[in-house]
Amino acid sequence: MANLVRWLEEALEAGETIQSTVIGDMGWPGFGDEPGYGSEGVPLYNEQLRGKVLSWNDARRFLDYDFDDGFGAPGCNAVYAWTAKRVFFINQYDGRTKLSWVPRDPCECEPTMPGG
């Protein structure tokens, strides 16, 4: 089991904070009719907030839920989360869901191949 809030907050380096977030569809586009519910009964899918730039404080409650990160359709929302130095996103390969990131700005680094 996984949790988007835990994934994101545990991936942050010392002093790094999430500045902005955008929440997308649950799982693959068009996946499922029922959104499910996160912490405190908050619906995981909110049409009015989908695709909007949100503060971490506003977005956090919609992402604080446990899901199966194993094989099959992703059990979580697509999400982008920006910090001052990185952009986090959900990566899915062959049904396995995980958190990935890229540098926010051009920098010398060793690029990776998410999903392989």
DSSP symbols for 27-51: SSTT--S---B-GGG-BS--TTTTT
Asked whether 79 and 103 are in contact (CB, 8 A), the reply is no
Asked whether 91 and 114 are in contact (CB, 8 A), the reply is yes
> What pLDDT shows up at residue 102?
94
Q: What is the C-alpha separation between 114 and 111, in angstroms, rounded? A: 9
Token couple for 16: 């790094």
Residue 46's nearest CA partner among 24, 65, 64, 68 is 24
Tens of pLDDT, residues 30-65: 555 455 555 555 555 566 788 899 999 999 988 888
pTM of the model: 0.83
* Mean pLDDT score of the chain: 84
